[in-house]
Amino acid sequence: MDSPNALQALAALAHETRLAIFRLLVETGPDGLPAGVIAERLAIAPSSLTFHVQHLHRAGLVTQSRAGRQLIYVAGFAAMNGLIAYLTENCCQGAACAPLQRSA
Amino acid sequence: MDSPNALQALAALAHETRLAIFRLLVETGPDGLPAGVIAERLAIAPSSLTFHVQHLHRAGLVTQSRAGRQLIYVAGFAAMNGLIAYLTENCCQGAACAPLQRSA
DNA sequence: TTCTCATTTCAAATTTTCTTAAAATGTCCT
DNA sequence: AGGACATTTTAAGAAAATTTGAAATGAGAA
């Protein structure tokens, strides 16, 4: 992941509502959740949910697919993995953040 | 690191200028850099630098100390470590981001 | 087709964040 | 004390992000 992408991912997560959405989707796993359920669980307006979830989508942190008349959102683990790798490589030089290592 | 702190750290890094400041300080290492040098290297106004560096400071991502009449800023690795740990633990459940493991 | 339901799009209002320049603070030197 | 330098503080305006509600789209059911 390069700096512009990392910046986009950081900005996407740097909002209370969006971080909550992402965490809910991570917790939910690969089946994801329809927009309406996310909005209901987090008590936010539908159009507000769309706004935030699209922000996450642009950053690759969320995947969208249709199931009948509902849109299912799933956490995008690759992007999160990329962000963590970016932070580890670019912001932890000099062994200062040595406790983290890649194993696979 | 808890969610409010993680949110603060994410917001602090989610800006082009602040990410550049932080990366510069990581690259520089434990000696850090005086405010003026950072501002000069990144070509930003002094007061603008203060604004951004304070944002990083509030999030614990930067440390401040005085040397004569200049203020030295140093990257705060503990906070970055905490952020990476938060993301790994809260946003990568279910082995989806398994490639990252703690070793120390 | 027509009626719902689920969601998104749009535009306006609001709020938050960022930039800028001028004035203030703190330190060192003479 | 008085002057010069490094940085911060302040206040104003500019720019960007967020919220809201109403209207539009897309899909399934009658």
Segment B17-50, tens digit of pLDDT: 999 999 999 999 999 999 999 999 999 999 999 9
Paired with A71 in beta bridges are: A66
Q: Which of these ranges, A79-83, B87-91, B92-96, has the smallest mean pLDDT?
A: B92-96
Q: Using alpha carbons only, what angle is made at residue A88 by residues A83 and A93, rounded to the nearest 5 degrees?
A: 145
Indicate the residue of A84, A96, A99 with minimum beta-carbon distance to B97. Answer: A84
Q: Average per-residue pLDDT in chain B?
A: 91
Chain A residue with minimum CA distance to B102? A100
**Domains in chain A, start-ordered, CATH in brackets?**
3-90 (1.10.10.10)
CB contact under 8 A, B77 and A97: yes
Kindly determine whether the C-beta of residue A47 is less than 7 Å away from any atom of nucleic acid strand D: yes
Taking the Cβ of residue A88 and every Cβ of chain B, the question of whether any pair is shorter than 8 Å is answered with yes
Q: Which residues of chain A have pLDDT under 50?
A: 100-104
State the pLDDT at residue A101. 47
Label residue B96 by pLDDT band (50, 70, 90): low
Place of tokens 């995008």: A76
Nucleotide nearest to A64 (CA to C1'): C7
Indicate the residue of A22, A85, A99 with minimum beta-carbon distance to B81. Answer: A99
Share of chain B above pLDDT 70, in %: 89
Q: Which of A38, A43, A66, A68 is nearest to A53 (CA)?
A: A38
Q: How many residues are listed for chain A in this entry?
A: 104
- A56 within 8 A of A22, measured Cβ to Cβ: yes
Nucleotides of C under 7 A from a protein CB: 5-11, 17-23, 26-28
Distance in angstroms (rounded) separating the CA atoms of residues B54 and B82: 19
Q: Which of A4, A22, A100, A98 is nearest to B19 (CA)?
A: A4
Pairing relationship of beta strands B100-102 and A100-102 according to DSSP bridges: antiparallel
